[in-house]
Amino acid sequence: MRMIRSVLAHTAALGWCVLFSTSSLCHAQSSQEVNLLREDVFNKGSAGWYVNYADRNTLTPTIINQPPAGEAWFPVKSLKVQLNPENPGIEKRFASSLAIQLQRKPKLDIPIGSKVTFKCWLRSQEDREIELTLGLAGAPFTAIARQKIKLAAGKWIAVLVEEKSTIQLLSDQWRINFSFATAPGTVEMTAPWLSVQ
C-alpha cells in the first residue's frame, strides 16, 4: 500500500496531474474509464454520502462560490459538511483523533488485483488535515489506499489516489472515507470520481 501526498491540477487534455510530489505522475483519462460515481453531482441530495454524528454535523448540497481559477468545467454544487461538535463527551474522547467521517459505500465488488482510481476536490474554511481511506468498512478495516491531505483555508485542492487492490472488496462491505478532527468549521467535497479496471 502506498501513501501519496500531492497537490493536483485538472486539465481537459491531460486529466489529473501531480504538481508537487516526490515523483512525477499524471493520470490521463482513457476512453475505457467510466466514472462509477457520475450520479454524485449533488443536485438531488447527498447521493449516498453520509456523515457520522449527524445530529450535530449536517450534510448539505451547496452551490459553489469561487471555484478554482481556470477550471471552467467545475461542478455547480459541492457537498458541504458543517461541523458542530457540541457533545463534551465526544470532544473529550476524540480530542486528538480524526473523529468525524464523511463516507460513501459504493454498491460494487472490487476483485483482487483491480486498479482502483479515486479523485475529487476538497476545500475547508480553515486550515485542516483530512485522511482519505479506501477499504473495508468493518473489522479488520483493511485499507487498499490511505492518504493524508493538508488543506489551506479557503483553497480547493484536487486529490488523486491510484492503487491495485490487494484484497477483495464486496459490495456494501467497503467504503470511501474522509476523516477529520472535531474542530468546528466546514469541509466541502465535489467532483468525486471512481473507476475500477
Using H for helix, E for strand and C for coil, what is the string for 31-97? Answer: CCCCCCCCCCCCCCCCCCCEECCCCCCEEEEEECCCCCCCCCCCCCEEEEEEECCCCHHHHHHCCCC
More confident call, 49 vs 29: 49
Q: Which residues are CB-neighbours of 96 under 8 A, at least 6 positions away?
A: none
Specify the pLDDT at position 89. Answer: 45
3-state secondary structure 96-160: CCCCEEEEECCCCCECCCCEEEEEEEEEECCCEEEEEEEEECCCCCCEEEEEEEEECCCCCEEEE
Q: Is residue 13 a part of any domain in this protein? A: no
Does position 88 have pLDDT exceeding 70, yes or no?
no
% of the chain exceeding 70 in pLDDT: 75
Specify the pLDDT at position 97. Answer: 56
CA–CA distance from 25 to each of 2, 28, 59, 127, 185 (Å)?
14, 10, 33, 26, 32
Q: How many domains does the chain have?
A: 1
**CA angle 36–42–48, rounded 5-degree value:** 60
Does position 144 have pLDDT exceeding 50, yes or no?
yes
- For the chain, the average pLDDT equals 78
- How far is Cα of residue 81 from the mean position of the Cα atoms in its chain? 12
Q: Is residue 96 a part of any domain in this protein? A: yes
* 8 A C-beta contact, residue 130 and residue 183: no
Q: Is residue 9 a part of any domain in this protein? A: no
* 8 A C-beta contact, residue 117 and residue 16: no
Q: Is residue 6 a part of any domain in this protein? A: no
Q: Is residue 25 a part of any domain in this protein? A: no
Specify the pLDDT at position 160. Answer: 96
Q: Is residue 20 a part of any domain in this protein? A: no
Specify the pLDDT at position 85. Answer: 59
Beta bridge partners of 136: 174
**Model confidence pTM above 0.85:** no
> Residue 63: which CATH number?
2.60.120.260
Confidence class of residue 33 from pLDDT cuts 50, 70 and 90? confident
Q: Is residue 11 a part of any domain in this protein? A: no
**What is d(CA 36, CA 89) in angstroms, rounded to the nearest whole number?**
38
Domain encompassing residue 95: 32-196
**Highest mean pLDDT of the ranges 12-21, 38-47, 149-158:** 149-158
Confidence class of residue 19 from pLDDT cuts 50, 70 and 90? very low
Q: Is residue 191 a part of any domain in this protein? A: yes
**What is d(CA 25, CA 21) in angstroms, rounded to the nearest whole number?**
8
